[in-house]
Amino acid sequence: MPPNRNYKFEKRQKDLAKMKKKEEKKQRQLAKKQASQDENGAAVAENEENNAVTD
């Protein structure tokens, strides 16, 4: 006779996988957001430095 399936264990593993995937997506989005802010911040800082030198 085959062993009974442990549905609670399977559900828990599925939920853990979903949570891990969600967290990884959140981290990717946060890194992408920070990278775009760094580019914009660096461009603004360079423009301010150039304006200060020419004034």
Which of 21, 41, 19 shows the shortest CA–CA distance to 29?
A: 21
Domain boundaries, the chain: 23-49
Model confidence at 43, in pLDDT bands (50, 70, 90)? low
Tokens of 25: 């997506």
30-54 average pLDDT score: 72
Residue 6 pLDDT exceeds 80: yes
Q: Is the pLDDT of residue 31 over 80?
A: yes
pTM above 0.75? no
